[in-house]
Amino acid sequence: MFAAVAGCATSAPDAVLPYRVDGDAIRERLAAAPGDAARGKAVVVSRDSNCLLCHAVPDSGVRFMGNVGPSLEGVGAQLTEGQLRLRIVDSMRLNRETKMPSYYRVDELNRVAEAWRGQPVLTAQQVEDTVAYLLTLR
Protein backbone atom coordinates (compact mmCIF):
# COMPACT_ATOMS: atom_id res chain seq x y z
CA MET A 1 0.00 0.00 0.00
CA PHE A 2 1.15 3.49 -0.72
CA ALA A 3 -0.29 6.89 -0.13
CA ALA A 4 0.29 10.04 -2.09
CA VAL A 5 -0.99 13.55 -2.29
CA ALA A 6 -1.27 15.05 -5.73
CA GLY A 7 -2.88 17.72 -7.73
CA CYS A 8 -0.88 20.92 -7.50
CA ALA A 9 -1.75 23.07 -10.46
CA THR A 10 0.61 25.88 -11.32
CA SER A 11 -1.61 28.02 -13.51
CA ALA A 12 -4.90 27.60 -11.68
CA PRO A 13 -4.20 26.63 -8.08
CA ASP A 14 -7.82 25.92 -7.22
CA ALA A 15 -8.69 23.90 -10.32
CA VAL A 16 -7.57 20.61 -8.78
CA LEU A 17 -7.55 20.11 -5.03
CA PRO A 18 -5.22 17.65 -3.31
CA TYR A 19 -6.48 14.14 -2.76
CA ARG A 20 -5.15 11.02 -1.16
CA VAL A 21 -4.51 7.75 -2.97
CA ASP A 22 -4.70 4.52 -0.98
CA GLY A 23 -3.55 1.56 -3.01
CA ASP A 24 -5.70 1.55 -6.12
CA ALA A 25 -8.39 3.83 -4.74
CA ILE A 26 -9.25 7.34 -3.60
CA ARG A 27 -11.49 6.63 -0.67
CA GLU A 28 -12.50 10.13 0.30
CA ARG A 29 -14.84 12.29 -1.71
CA LEU A 30 -13.26 15.10 -3.70
CA ALA A 31 -16.20 17.41 -3.09
CA ALA A 32 -18.20 18.21 0.00
CA ALA A 33 -21.55 17.18 -1.47
CA PRO A 34 -22.18 13.51 -2.22
CA GLY A 35 -22.42 12.48 -5.85
CA ASP A 36 -25.74 12.55 -7.65
CA ALA A 37 -26.28 9.63 -10.02
CA ALA A 38 -28.72 11.47 -12.30
CA ARG A 39 -26.30 14.34 -12.79
CA GLY A 40 -23.53 11.80 -13.25
CA LYS A 41 -25.40 10.15 -16.06
CA ALA A 42 -25.74 13.54 -17.72
CA VAL A 43 -21.96 14.01 -17.44
CA VAL A 44 -21.25 10.62 -18.97
CA VAL A 45 -23.69 11.13 -21.83
CA SER A 46 -22.56 14.69 -22.56
CA ARG A 47 -20.28 15.26 -25.52
CA ASP A 48 -17.98 17.43 -23.39
CA SER A 49 -16.87 14.51 -21.25
CA ASN A 50 -15.97 12.31 -24.23
CA CYS A 51 -16.81 9.18 -22.13
CA LEU A 52 -18.97 7.55 -24.79
CA LEU A 53 -16.38 8.06 -27.52
CA CYS A 54 -14.66 5.04 -25.97
CA HIS A 55 -17.15 3.39 -23.59
CA ALA A 56 -20.65 2.00 -23.88
CA VAL A 57 -23.21 2.26 -21.09
CA PRO A 58 -26.58 0.50 -20.93
CA ASP A 59 -29.71 2.57 -21.57
CA SER A 60 -27.88 5.75 -22.41
CA GLY A 61 -30.20 6.59 -25.28
CA VAL A 62 -27.04 7.31 -27.23
CA ARG A 63 -26.86 5.72 -30.66
CA PHE A 64 -23.16 5.49 -31.22
CA MET A 65 -20.88 4.45 -28.40
CA GLY A 66 -17.28 3.40 -28.74
CA ASN A 67 -15.42 0.27 -27.70
CA VAL A 68 -11.85 1.57 -27.43
CA GLY A 69 -12.35 1.10 -23.69
CA PRO A 70 -14.39 -1.59 -21.93
CA SER A 71 -18.17 -1.39 -21.66
CA LEU A 72 -19.24 0.16 -18.37
CA GLU A 73 -22.10 -2.27 -17.92
CA GLY A 74 -21.70 -3.89 -14.51
CA VAL A 75 -18.78 -1.68 -13.53
CA GLY A 76 -20.56 -0.69 -10.33
CA ALA A 77 -20.42 -4.31 -9.19
CA GLN A 78 -16.83 -4.84 -10.28
CA LEU A 79 -15.21 -1.81 -8.70
CA THR A 80 -15.65 0.00 -5.41
CA GLU A 81 -16.49 3.67 -5.12
CA GLY A 82 -12.87 4.51 -4.31
CA GLN A 83 -11.52 2.44 -7.19
CA LEU A 84 -13.89 4.12 -9.62
CA ARG A 85 -12.85 7.52 -8.30
CA LEU A 86 -9.15 6.93 -8.91
CA ARG A 87 -9.80 5.49 -12.37
CA ILE A 88 -11.64 8.64 -13.36
CA VAL A 89 -9.28 11.06 -11.63
CA ASP A 90 -5.98 9.73 -12.93
CA SER A 91 -5.90 6.24 -14.42
CA MET A 92 -2.25 6.68 -15.30
CA ARG A 93 -1.41 6.14 -11.66
CA LEU A 94 -2.48 2.53 -12.14
CA ASN A 95 -1.16 2.04 -15.65
CA ARG A 96 1.33 4.38 -17.31
CA GLU A 97 0.28 3.10 -20.74
CA THR A 98 -3.47 3.53 -20.27
CA LYS A 99 -5.65 5.12 -22.95
CA MET A 100 -7.99 6.44 -20.27
CA PRO A 101 -7.45 10.20 -19.92
CA SER A 102 -6.88 11.67 -16.48
CA TYR A 103 -10.14 13.51 -15.84
CA TYR A 104 -9.07 15.40 -12.74
CA ARG A 105 -5.55 16.53 -13.41
CA VAL A 106 -3.88 19.66 -14.74
CA ASP A 107 -0.17 19.05 -14.25
CA GLU A 108 2.34 17.21 -16.42
CA LEU A 109 0.26 17.62 -19.54
CA ASN A 110 1.73 18.68 -22.89
CA ARG A 111 0.55 21.51 -25.12
CA VAL A 112 -2.99 21.75 -23.79
CA ALA A 113 -5.02 24.19 -25.91
CA GLU A 114 -5.50 27.56 -24.28
CA ALA A 115 -9.24 27.13 -23.82
CA TRP A 116 -8.64 24.12 -21.58
CA ARG A 117 -5.32 24.96 -19.97
CA GLY A 118 -5.20 24.75 -16.20
CA GLN A 119 -8.61 23.07 -15.99
CA PRO A 120 -9.35 19.42 -15.36
CA VAL A 121 -11.78 17.73 -17.79
CA LEU A 122 -14.26 17.32 -14.94
CA THR A 123 -14.76 19.33 -11.77
CA ALA A 124 -14.53 17.58 -8.41
CA GLN A 125 -18.32 17.55 -8.17
CA GLN A 126 -18.66 16.09 -11.65
CA VAL A 127 -16.24 13.32 -10.70
CA GLU A 128 -18.38 12.55 -7.64
CA ASP A 129 -21.57 12.58 -9.71
CA THR A 130 -19.98 10.27 -12.28
CA VAL A 131 -18.84 7.85 -9.57
CA ALA A 132 -22.37 7.82 -8.15
CA TYR A 133 -23.81 7.02 -11.57
CA LEU A 134 -21.28 4.27 -12.33
CA LEU A 135 -22.10 2.64 -8.99
CA THR A 136 -25.67 2.20 -10.23
CA LEU A 137 -24.43 0.10 -13.18
CA ARG A 138 -24.64 -3.30 -11.54
Q: Which residues bind other proteins (CB under 8 A)?
A: 50, 52-54, 63-68, 92, 99, 101-102, 105, 109-116, 119, 121
Nearer to other proteins, 33 or 112 (CB): 112
| C-alpha–C-alpha distance, residues 20 and 26, integer Å | 6
Rounded least distance, CB 123 to other proteins, Å: 14
Nearer to other proteins, 12 or 33 (CB): 12
Distances (CA, A) of 26 to 4, 6, 32, 86, 108: 10, 11, 15, 5, 20
Rounded least distance, CB 45 to other proteins, Å: 12
Nearer to other proteins, 8 or 33 (CB): 8
- φ, ψ dihedrals at 6, nearest 5°: -140, 175
| C-alpha–C-alpha distance, residues 130 and 88, integer Å | 9
